[in-house]
Chain A
C-alpha cells in the first residue's frame, strides 16, 4: 500500500473513532433497548418483544408524531421564506462586506440556545417587554397572550435554526456562475423569469439542505416546546424525554427514538439524492 493511500485513512481515523464511539454505539444501544420489556419500576427487563414498536404506531403516539411533523414543516417553510431573500441579498452585496453580513447572520450562535429561548419568554409573556411597550403606547385592553402558544413554539424554532438555512442557501448562491444569469437576460428573459427558471432551480440543493436541517432539528426538539409551549404542546422529543425521565419506560422511549432517527435518516438520504441528482444534471448540461 502506498503512503498516499494510507494517509487519508489515518487522517480520518480520529473522526471515525469519535463517531463510532459516541454516535454509532449509543444509537445501537438505544435501538437494542427497544426490543426489550420495561421493568415495572424502570430499567429494562431482558425479555425480547416487539410490543414497543407496535405502541409507536398506536393512534395516540402517531398523532403526536404527525403533529410534530406539522409544526416542524411549518417552521421549515417559514425559515426558507425568510432565509432565501436574506441569503440572496448577502450574495449580491459587495464582495468585501459579505463576510461581515454572514458574521451577523450567525451571531446568535455566540450565545447559548437556552438563553436565546428564555429571551423569547421575556419578550412574549403577558407581563413581558412587548406587552409593556404596547401599554406605554396607550394600549389599554387585555395583555396579548403570545407565549405558550403553537405560534410561540414555531417562532422559537425558526429563530434558532434560521442561520443554518441562510448559510446553506448562501453557499449555493455564491457558487452560482453569474454568466448563466447574463445568458438568460441576453436571451430575453426578465429578472423574474431568470430567477424562476435559472437561479432558483440551481439553488434548490441549498434550499433542500437548509430545509432538511431545520425539519430534522425541529421534529426532535424538546426544549423549545417545553419552554415556549408551556408544556401544552407535546412533540416527539418531549414524548421521548418523558419516557426516559418521568415514565421510566426506556424500551418505549428507545422505540420512539428509533422511529425518529429513521425518519431523519430517510429525509437526509432523500436530500443527498436530490443534491446528487441536481449536480449530476448540471454536469450533464455542461457536457452537452
Chain B
C-alpha cells in the first residue's frame, strides 16, 4: 500500500463513519414528538398511523427544563412537536421558535371548552394547544389528619400531630407558589421584598417537612409515611386509586392554574403532519384517553362529556367545572425574575 492509498483508505473510513453518524441522527419517522413518559396512549404511533398513514417517533423528556435546554441549544431542530407547560410555550413563542397553529388544519379545536381558547398566555390558541389542565393543592389521608385541611398554612405551619409527615413539591414554581398563595401574593410575584417573605416562610416550613418530593408523594400517603402532601390534582388521584381515604382539596387561598400544552416548532419540516397530529389528539376519543388514564382534566368538552360518571365520583376533582378552574391564576413566564426564583429555591434547599 502506498502512502496515498493509505490516506485514501483513512479518508474513506472517516467519511463512512461520518455518514453513519449523520444517518443515526436523521429519523425515518415523519414526526418526532417529545413528551413526558406515559403522557400519551402507549399505542399512539399505531393508531395515528392507522388514521393518517404517518409514522411518529416519540421521545421522552423528564422535565420542561430538560427539553427546553435541548430546544434552545438546537434552535428547535430535531423535534416537530413538543409537550411543555404553558410558561415554556410562552418562551418558545417569545423566542420565535413556535409555529402558528393552522386553524383550518385542526378542526377539532372546536372540541375545546370556550375557557380553553381564551387563556391569558395565548388567547385564541395562536401558537399552542392546551392538552391537560388542573390545580395544585393538598392531598391528604382523611383518616390520619384530624381536621379537614383548607389552608396552605395547614401544610406550611402544620399541627404538631403531622409535623414530619408532610412533603412539598421541589420544582421551583410550585414550591414558591405554595408560599405565595399562603401570603396572598400572586403566583408570578416579582417584588423582591415579597419574595423574601415567601422565602422565610418556606424555610420555616422546611423544618417540619418529611421530604421534598415531586414523584412519589402519593405513595408516601398510601404507605402512611406521610399524612399531608403538596400535590397536583391528577397525581393525588393516583393515591386515591389505592386508598379511598385519600382526598384532595384546593386551599381557600386558591391554587395556581397549570396547563400543559402542545407546540409545533417553527423549524419543523413536517408542519402539515404536525397539525394532523394535534387534530388527532383533540379528537374526543383520543383526548379522553388522557383523562381516563392519567386522571388529569383535559380542556376538551367533547372528551370530558364522554367520560363515565363513575370516574368523577371516584375522583371528585375531575368534575371541577372549567369556569371554576380558570378563576385560578395562571403560571406565567417570569422572564429575568426566573433567576431570582432559582436562587431563592437554592437558599431554601441549603437552609438548615
Contact = CB atoms under 8 A, between A and B. Distances in A.
Interface of A: 39-43, 60-61, 63-64, 67, 125-127, 145, 148, 229-232, 234, 238-239, 242, 244-250
B335 A127 contact: no
Nearest to A145: B164
A145 to B, nearest CB: 6
B206 interface: yes
A231 B336 CA distance: 26
Interface string B52-69: 000000000001011011
Interface stretch (B26-34, B150-158, B185-193, B343-351): B343-351
A64 B351 CA distance: 9
B170 interface: yes
B212 A242 contact: no
A60 B206 contact: no
Contact of B209 (A41, A232, A249): A232
Contact of B349 (A148, A234, A244): A234
B224 interface: yes
A234 B203 CA distance: 13
Interface string B324-352: 00000000000110110011011101100
Contact of A231 (B224, B338, B349): B349
Contact of A232 (B63, B211, B339, B347): B211
A134 to B, nearest CB: 15
A60 to B, nearest CB: 6
A67 B351 CA distance: 11
A217 to B, nearest CB: 21
Contacts of A61: 346
A41 B349 contact: no
B224 A126 contact: yes
Nearest to B342: A247
Contacts of B91: 41
B307 interface: no
B246 to A, nearest CB: 15
6 contacts: A41-B95, A125-B225, A127-B225, A230-B212, A245-B66, A249-B339
A189 B321 CA distance: 86
B122 interface: no
A269 to B, nearest CB: 29
A242 B347 CA distance: 13
A234 B350 contact: yes
A230 B211 contact: yes
B212 A231 contact: yes
A248 B224 contact: no
Contacts of B69: 42-43, 244-245, 248, 250
Measured as residues with beta carbon below 8 angstroms from the partner, the interface class of chain B is 35 or more
Contacts of B346: 60-61, 64, 234, 239, 242, 247
Contacts of A231: 170, 211-213, 349
A148 B223 CA distance: 16
A246 B73 contact: no
Contacts of A246: 63, 65, 171-172, 342
Given A126-B224, A145-B210, A148-B211, 10 more contacts: A42-B72, A125-B225, A231-B212, A231-B349, A242-B345, A242-B346, A246-B65, A246-B342, A247-B346, A248-B65
Given A43-B72, A230-B210, A64 B350 contact: yes
A63 B349 CA distance: 12
Contacts of B63: 245-246
Nearest to A67: B350
A60 B350 CA distance: 8
Given A232-B206, A234-B350, A248 B68 contact: yes
A42 B71 CA distance: 9
B339 to A, nearest CB: 7
Contact of A125 (B206, B209, B212, B223): B223
* Residue picked from B170, B209, B225, most chain A C-beta under 10 Å: B225
A207 B253 CA distance: 57
Nearest to A42: B72
B180 to A, nearest CB: 18
B72 A39 contact: yes
A126 B210 CA distance: 10
B145 to A, nearest CB: 16
